[in-house]
Structure formats: structure tokens, C-alpha cells
Amino acid sequence: MAALVMLVVLCGMVMPQHAARAAPSPVAHSPFNSPPEPGAIRLHACVAPVRHGDTAAKLFASPDRFDCRRAEAAWGAGSYWVRLDLPPGSRLSEDPEDMPNRYLRFAPQWQRMITVHTRLADGRIVSRSYDNQDLSPLMGIGAAVGIPLEKRVRLGTQIMVRLDGALNAAGLVVEPQLMRGTALRGAELAAAAIFSAFAGLGIGLFCYNMVLWLTIRERFQLTYCLSLLAMLAYVWASSGAMSLQAPSTSQVLRIETSYLMLAFVGALALQFITDFIEPHCLPARLRRFARNVGLASIAAAVAVILVPEAWRPLADRAYVLTFIPLPPLVAAIGMIAWRRGSGSVRVLAIAWAMPLVMAVLRIAHALHLVELSSVVEYSLVIGMSIEALLSSLAMSYRIKLVTEERDQALADERAARHLANVDGLTGLLNRRALLEQVIAWSSPEPLRLLLVDIDHFKQINDRHGHLVGDEVLRDVAEVMAMRAELRGSVARLGGEEFALIGTSDELSEGLALAILADMRAKAMGGHVRLTVSIGMAEGMVRCEDEWRDLYRRGDIALYRAKSEGRNRAVHAGPGCAVSVPIGPFVSAAAVA
């Protein structure tokens, strides 16, 4: 849907630019007429350096000045005449009604001025000059301009372009074509479809992954979203959409934006790869090197923009050279990560295989090793589209791994917290966990504390052994837990001492009597009979100091129960020194 919207928008931007380019009037073709010419004819460029005193008339009259074999890039930076010839065997209609519908279409590069000279049938030469500001209104999607030709141009070797101050990084007159108006619009619509498809894909993936980043907060997600923004900005500038939206924008600014955004694409792509792969699978030095290579590309792009014109060819060459390490570096990162057991590098390799091939192809073209073709021209957009889509799928796999790691870490943390809060022998809360729970409770009413201590527990250990003693502790803990239920928190404070805390209503004196009776009635550890002593106290517990005060008063009551003969519960009064015995009980029948 996003791609469709972008296609409609860009098509709407394309159509008004060429509304004045009316479709050619239908021309009848009888069997005796020559067949109609094709919609677009690729022109052949011949180059001659500009000399002092040159004029268009002299150059039209001096075909020997032009070199038609030497590659344009081999001429280097400077000012040049470019003669545009029809390929051998091409035939053009000379119908006056058809000629006004022809356009010279080419992709302008970095230069100060372009002047298009056309020689008419009567020998007159018509010249039109365009600076970088003038070219923007003529720009269409595909970063090419369509210049209408005069009605009486007799085509063949009658078109010549002069370029002043050309950088000649990618050529002088790139992809020159002679086109009908319908073919021109068709080419721009095709380019609009390609670029809008990428724009729709990029916008959709950015929104989707940005929402995921807000939820999961992994660094590689943010890096990926930033790289998508850089890709979209690069396509916006390099496709000519920037000029369509802002016709007053200079072509130099558009090209500078393309340089800078492409550098950011490369730098963020390297950063994304190093962020995506697990930290332990890549050496820190390799991560720093990858980051520095990306920064070098950005620095080179800034240099191309800022250096004086005389130094710009050197800066442009340095800019291209900074991209050469990218493919081998990405391959090296993947190999090292794979050898170190990375689980995510495999899916990353699938996502980056085709983009790397396209990047190598584009770098080879920038180094003038391969000729420009449709595949080369759109290789970056194709590569970025594949990378953006497959990297998003790879991130889904990586997020799955991250989620599993986090779930396992949370489970381990819960288990560790449980072990830290629970007494290992009885399964009850320990002293620290009970204190944290009570303080976090912040009860608005006083709490009651029951301290329960096993009578003569040392004798049980001495007589029956420590294994039986442990069984006794577990059985006592079970009785405490059963009596506590939902009425309070029960904990083992250490040794043979247990605690039960809750509100006064929950922990009544009747509960204390029931605990005493249960302990006497059950054979602990299978055959051991025992009794317990209980100290009770109550008070507010909102901080650790109040807990210590409550515990101290409960401990005094417990000591009183021990000193008065054990097997009983003693309730501490309002003061620490006053103790109220609930009474000794010798049988379960005393329990109400």
C-alpha cells in the first residue's frame, strides 16, 4: 500500500513537468513510407576539449576535432565539447509535424554550465545555456533532463553540448538519448515506479521497525531505522524527486546530498552489521575498524562538498576509494562471526549476498571498469531494496533469539531471587525476605508477630542425628504453613526459630493455641514428639527500626515462655517489660 501511494504521488509529480510536451500528432504511414522510428535512440558521444576561441560553428565544421573512441571518464575534469551522433543505421522521420516532439534526454552531472547547440536545417545554430539552477525545473524522475529540440533541427550530427567546469566523475553527458515525448514520459513513469516502490518499502519497514524498537530497545533496530532514513534520503536526491519537489534547488545541492547520504548509507550499514552480530562473536578492534571505515566515507563526502573546485576531482576519487573496503570488510566480518559461533550471521549472509554483488557492480562502474547499463544504473536501489527487506526479516530472527535470551535471563533471575528469598531446607521465606515483604506491605494497622521456637531442639539432634533434625524442621515448617494459609506470612528466621506475621484479626491468640496443639499432636520426623514455645507482640511496622522494635518485644515474650516452662505462648503487653502468659497446655483438648 505504501509503495502504491508513493507511485501515485511520484506519477503526479512527473506528469505536470511535461504537460507541455504534447503527444505527437498521428502521422499516416503507408506501405511506401519508411517504418516509424523507435521511441528512444541512444546517441553516441564524441569528445573534444575546449580551446580558446572555440565556437559552436567552428566545432560543427571541424568533425576531426572530436575523439569518438576514448572513454569519457578518461578525459578527466575540465571543459569539453560533446558531439552527439546517431548510431549507424538509425533513420529518423523528417516530418515537420513529428520533429517538435523530440527531446534530448540525458543525466546531468557535476558542472558549472551546460550549453546545448543545435544546427537547424537552414544552417542557423540555436544555443541554450543552463546553469545548475536552470536544470532543476527540467529534471524528471530518474535524474535526467529532457530538453525539447527545435522544430527544424536536421538530426544526424547536428547536436552538440558544451560543458564548462565538468567534474567528469561518472561521465560528461550520461546516457544521451533522442526520445519522442511519449517515450520520455514512459521512461520517467518507469523510473517513478522503481523509486516509489523502494520508497514505499522503506517507509513501511521504517515505521514497522521503529515501533518494534520502542518495544524491544535493541541497538541494531535503531541503527537499521537510521540506515533506512539515509537510503530514503539518498533515493530522494539521486532519483530527481528532490528537484521535482523543489525546482529552485540547485543541481549541485542535489548531487552533494546524494554524495553525503550514500556515505551515511555505507557507514550505517557497517554499523548495523556489527550491532546485529552478537557482541562476543566479533573482536572489539574489528568493530572499531568498521566504524572508522564508515566515518572515512562520510569525511570524504564532506570533503567533496567543501574543497575548492580545483581539488574536487581528487576528493571525488578519494570518496570512491573509501567504498572499496566495504564488500571485503563485510565478508570478513561474516566469516569471523561464523567461526566464533554466531547464530545470526547466517541469516545476515542471506540478506546481504545480493546487495554486496550490486555494491561491487556500482563500485566497478565508479572506477570505470564496467559500462553504465540499466542494471548498473539501478543497482544501488535494487541492492538497498533487497538489503532493507531481507535485513528486516533477519532482524525478526535476531529478535526471536534476543527474546529467548531475555526470557531465559528473566527465568534465571526469578529462580535466583526465589533462592535468595527462600530457606533452602524448609521452603519458607528467610529472615531478609520476610523483612522486605513486611516493610513493602506498609500496613496501615498494627501487625502481630508470632515467634515460634522448638523446645530442646539440640537434644533432638543429639539423640536422633541431624538428618532427623532436618526432617523435624521441615515438618514444623509444614504445620506453620498450614496454619498460616492466607492469614499471614511465615518464615524461618534461622536454626529452630520460626516467625508468623499478620494482622491481629488474622493471627489471633486462638491460632497460637492451635499451633501449640498441632505440634504436640504430630510425630515430627516420623517418630519424634516435641513442643514449641511462642512469643507474641504487636505494633506498627513501616520501617526497619519499627521491625526491630517489634521483634525485640516478641523475643522477650518468647524468652518468658521458655523461662516459665516452655510448651506455651506468652503475649507481650504494650510495654517491653510486661508479659501476659496465655498459658501452658498439655493436650490438644485444650484447643478451642
Active-site residue set: 496
Q: For residue 186, which phi and psi values (nearest 5 degrees)?
A: -65, -40
| Largest pairwise CA distance in the chain | 135
Locus of grid cell 518494534:
212
Q: CA 395 to CA 185: how far, in whole Å?
A: 39
Residue 402 in contact with residue 451, Cβ under 8 Å? no
With vertex at residue 39, the alpha carbon angle to CA 184 and CA 369, rounded to the nearest 5 degrees, is 75
Closest CA to 273 of 341, 339, 331, 210: 331
**Paired residues of 584 in beta bridges:** 568
DSSP state, 64? Answer: G
Closest CA to 551 of 495, 511, 493, 510: 493
Q: CA 139 to CA 136: how far, in whole Å?
A: 5
> CA dihedral defined by 572, 573, 578, 583, rounded to 10 degrees?
-60
**Beta strand pairing status for 532-539 and 568-572?**
parallel
**Beta strand pairing status for 40-42 and 174-180?**
antiparallel
Q: CA 341 to CA 333: how far, in whole Å?
A: 12
**Paired residues of 581 in beta bridges:** 570
User: Which run of H or E residues covers position 453?
Assistant: strand 447-454
**Paired residues of 422 in beta bridges:** 429
Q: CA 343 to CA 394: how far, in whole Å?
A: 11
Q: Which residues are CB-neighbours of 270 under 8 A, at least 6 positions away?
A: 290, 291, 293, 294, 326, 329, 330
Residue 161 in contact with residue 84, Cβ under 8 Å? yes
